[in-house]
Amino acid sequence: MFPKLYNFLKNQGVKRLSFLSIDSKKRRNVYSHSPFFKISDKIYIKSRVFHFVPVLYPKQVKLKNLKRMKTLKIRLLITFVCTSLVIFSSCSKDDEVLRDNISTDQTDDVSDNSDDGNDNDNSPSGRNGEITLYKVNGEIITKIKDYQVSGQDLAYQQDTKKHQDIWTLVKKVMPTAYRSKMNEFLIYNGEANGSAGFVFETAQDLSKWRMGIAINFADNQQELTYTIIHEFGHILTLNNDQVDASISESSCNNYFTGEGCSKTNSYIHKLQSQFWADIWTQYQTAQSSQSGLQQFYNSYSDRFVTQYAATNPGEDIAEVFATFVTRNSGANGNSIAEQKIQLMYNHTELVDLRNYIRGNLGASSRSRNSMLPVPGSWKQANSFGNAKKSHCSIK
């Protein structure tokens, strides 16, 4: 019987067997080897070492006592097998619970590889003020990761209610159909670079974008609202429906945005071809320096709704869109700046979009909700952005 038991234990992964002999006549224990702890006539399990009791019988033991002892051995073996099964079953269940807990935790806190690769996942410290990155899932945002931060940024990170409040405002500005173009949402601290918001593409074909909003500038509701509208303007005019990323600059017959070639019927191509083409040579010379841009703007200020709009056509159309949305009335006059606003009104889908945003923010033609700023009052309005980029960026 013992060879069978030995093979059974070996198959179960038992590493060592400790035997105990019992002198049934004197009822004293005689140990062959048992280095871990004293053993009685019971089964002990410790660190996968199974101790059991093979009993040796003296020759003078009567047959009926021998049968009794055999019965005891059988019961002992049954007890051992049952105990082993319970322990193995328990370990298996514990592993399942552990796996379930890990899976649940990773749902919110571990990146699902939707990141653009610019962040170091091994040590995700916010190089540009990044605090918390979310994945956009329709109406909700799900945390991808928290960046390693401290001090005030840690307080910002822990203020998840503020994150949700900002996201709620984003939803009021961006309808679901347009929001499908955004797959990531970043909360960051804009103090280091003075930015209030940015966007950049997360898909090479421009079908998906990340929007970042600076939480440290979010207390001013008017600034926050304008920033979101402005950044939405970039996604609206630079996504894959408007720009073909597969066409290089040398092969592009329309305005090349930097991300790709604008399509003929795109909003940005219409704006650039109608209102920039005649001064494009002067702009290309001016864009190399801030002083050059300032001189360029001073010469053509009546063409732009703000100074910031003169940065490049990408910032121009975002500023035009923001002014188009926040201004109560339509185009005022016939200047080129006003003609750009009229360009927005020439597209019924943009008028519907304007009505959607203003309706969600409680604005009307006769009164302006406090969430809507005075057009042109944005804190960046009287500055220039990066002329080499067609949209705001912290990178």
DSSP string of 42-91? S-EEETTEEEE-PPP--TTS-HHHHHHHHHHHHHHHHHHHHHHHHHHHHH
Instruction: In whole angstroms, give the CA distance from residue 29 to residue 376.
Output: 96
- Residue for token pair 């600034």: 223
Half-sphere exposure of residue 139, counting CA atoms within 13 Å on the CB side?
0
Q: Give the integer Cα–Cα distance in Å for 261 and 233.
A: 18
- What does each of the 395 residues of the chain score in pLDDT, given as a tens digit? 445 555 655 565 544 444 444 333 333 343 334 343 333 444 444 434 444 444 444 444 444 455 566 666 676 666 655 555 444 444 333 333 323 332 223 333 323 333 443 444 443 667 789 999 999 999 999 999 999 999 999 999 999 999 999 999 999 999 999 999 999 999 999 998 889 999 999 999 999 999 999 999 999 999 999 999 999 999 999 999 999 999 999 999 999 999 999 999 999 999 999 999 999 999 999 999 999 999 999 999 999 999 999 999 999 999 999 999 999 988 999 999 999 999 999 999 999 999 999 999 987 654 544 577 677 666 778 788 877 665 555 54
Cβ atoms of 216 and 155 within 8 Å: the answer is no
Query: Residue 217 CA to chain centroid, in angstroms?
Result: 21
The answer to whether the beta carbons of residues 320 and 344 sit under 8 Å apart is: yes
Cα–Cα distance measured from residue 223 to residue 228, given in angstroms and rounded to the nearest whole number: 9
What is the token pair recorded at 314?
């990408």
Query: What pLDDT shows up at residue 11?
Result: 61
Domains annotated for the chain, with CATH where assigned, are: 2-100 (no CATH), 130-360 (3.40.390)
Radius of gyration of the chain measured on its C-alpha atoms: 36
Q: What pLDDT shows up at residue 193?
A: 84
Residue 222 near residue 370 (C-beta atoms within 8 A) = yes
What's the rounded Cα separation, in Å, for the pair 41 and 22?
A: 8
Its pTM stands at 0.68
Burial, 311: exposed, middle or buried (Cβ in 10 Å; 0-12, 13-18, 19+)? buried
In the three-class reduction of DSSP (H, G, I as helix; E, B as strand; rest coil), residue 291 is classed as helix
Amino acid in the structure at residue 97: V
Cα–Cα distance, 325 to 357 (Å, whole number): 8
Tell me if 130 sits within 8 A of 210, measured CB to CB. Answer: no
Answer whether 205's CB lies under 8 Å from 245's CB: yes
Distance CA 112, CA 245 (A): 25
Compute the distance between CA of residue 117 and CA of residue 145 in angstroms, rounded to an integer.
13
Six-digit token string for 107: 């749902």
Give the helix ranges, DSSP H, for the chain.
2-11, 63-109, 151-158, 160-173, 176-179, 221-238, 267-275, 280-286, 290-299, 313-326, 336-345, 348-360
Polymer length of the chain: 395
